[in-house]
Structure 1
């Protein structure tokens, strides 16, 4: 029997340092998030970062917390429930970190008689610290706890025409009553070394502005290439002016070169160049979360206005939009009937 496991990032149980601390510990101790030797991760995370970060992060979570709980969890559950309405297959939800784990999701499917699982990482793009860590964790848990289950993974869907159409429609709706000077596609940042580590050829990815334009098998696992592809495909779908669209990267850690340009620098640059009315979209996420609701919708607006901008909007993620739900249900049903996965 077939079933589906949707997997998102996860969240602390509450916006308090007590609950944020174990969540951050699990997240930052992941070797695909901070890809340093375990002894060094221990030193960095438990000896330095967790001494101050939980309190600061708890304040940020408190700013965006809903009455029902964490926005990312609530939105993911709504999405799961709506997708379930569109398919006869059992649909479960798991989180990579925190409560409601991948193991719990697989256990739920097992209890319904599922032996063949479609794993759906809720990330459009491939990156070590998002898509890859979900797949690796699910396969590890599956092998250890559910050896009778076969797990098939939905590919990264960043350039799927149907996905691009849904994403573009959501952006068009967000821009409907906003006369923008510029649209900024802000993607989650990753260290530059992650790009090189994900390159199966070990020589193609140079992050030199040209390698993303030269066709290569490396693009299948290159986050930088994939996010720029998404921006270009949306530009084409919506016929957006070339000079009014750009991409940037947010959420970096100090001490390492991360993908550039940095989003906070772009807020300042665009405002100083006379781009007074800015729209920001965050397509690395399908569900609004701390990085979109606090870092971009709140802090980003403040930074842009302080730099001289006058009007600012953050266009929400796809969340539980009906067309996004319908598309996911379509992919699931196609797999159930034909074994085919979207490309």
Structure 2
């Protein structure tokens, strides 16, 4: 019997330092998030970051927390519930980090008689700190606890026409009452070294754009290439003028070069160049989370207005959008019927 495992990022159980600390510990100790040797990572995370960050992060979570709980968890659960209405297969939801574990989600599927699982990492693009870590963790749990299960993984869907259509239409809906000067596609940032580590050729990725137009197997795992592809395909679908759009990267840690341009710098640059009405979309995520709701929707608005901007619109992620649910239902049902996966 076939079943579907959806996996998203995860969340603390509450917006308190007590619950944020173990969540951050699991997240930051992931070798695909902070990719240094374990001894150094332990010193950095447990000796430095976790001494102050939980209290600060708890305040940020408190600003976006809903009565029902973590927005990312609630939105992911809504999406899963809607998907269940469009497929005869069991659908379970797990999180890469936190107490809503992948192991428990696999157990839920097993208890319903599932022995063949389609893993759906809820990330459109391939990055070692998001898509890859979900796949690796799920494989580890499956091999250790559910060896009788067969596991298939949905590919990164960043350029799938169905996804691009759903994303574009959600952006169009978000813009219908907003007269914008500029649209900023802001993606989650990653260290430049992650791009090089993910390059199977070890020479193709230059991280300057010169390599993106040259066909290569490296594109299958190049986050930078994939996000720019998404931007270009959405621009083409919506007919957006080149001069009214740009791409940037939010969230970074000090000390290493991360993908540029940085979103906070773009807020200032655009405002000072006379772009007074800014719309921001965050397509690295399919579900709104701390990063989109606090860092972009709240802090981003303040940064843009302080730099001289006048109007700011954060367009929500796809979340439990009906078109997006229908797209996922199409993909999983095609897999059930014929084993075909979207490319």
- TM-score category of the 2 structures, normalised to the smaller one: over 0.9
1:265-280 correspondence to structure 2 within 5 Å? 265-280=265-280
Query: Which ranges of 4 or more aligned residues in structure 1 deviate by more than 3 Å?
Result: none
Query: Aligned residue for 2:199?
Result: 199
Query: Aligned residue for 1:283?
Result: 283
- SS state at 1:66 partner: coil
Structure 2 segments unaligned to the other structure (5+ residues): none
CA distance in 1, matches of 2:316, 2:188: 15
CA distance in 2, matches of 1:79, 1:274: 39
CA distance in 1, matches of 2:19, 2:130: 22
Query: Aligned residue for 2:2?
Result: 2
Query: Aligned residue for 1:249?
Result: 249
CA distance in 1, matches of 2:258, 2:244: 24
CA-atom RMSD in angstroms: 0.4
Structure 1 segments unaligned to the other structure (5+ residues): none
Query: Aligned residue for 2:108?
Result: 108
User: Could you list the per-position Cα deviations for residues 321-341 of structure 1 after superposition, in whole angstroms to 9, with x for gaps in the alignment?
Assistant: 101011101111000001000
Shift of 1:214: 1.2
Shift of 1:100: 1.0
Query: Aligned residue for 1:297?
Result: 297
- SS state at 2:266 partner: helix
**1:62 to 2:101 alignment:** no
Shift of 1:208: 2.0
Query: Aligned residue for 1:190?
Result: 190
**1:52 to 2:55 alignment:** no
User: Could you list the per-position Cα deviations for residues 170-191 of structure 1 after superposition, in whole angstroms to 9, with x for gaps in the alignment?
Assistant: 0000010111000000000000
Shift of 1:77: 0.3
**1:264 to 2:276 alignment:** no
1:122-141 correspondence to structure 2 within 5 Å? 122-141=122-141
Query: Aligned residue for 1:169?
Result: 169
Shift of 1:206: 1.1
Shift of 1:112: 0.5
Query: Aligned residue for 1:317?
Result: 317
- SS state at 2:159 partner: coil
Shift of 1:209: 2.1
Q: Could you tell me the TM-score, scaled by structure 1's length?
A: 1.00
Q: Could you tell me the TM-score, scaled by structure 2's length?
A: 1.00
- SS state at 1:147 partner: coil
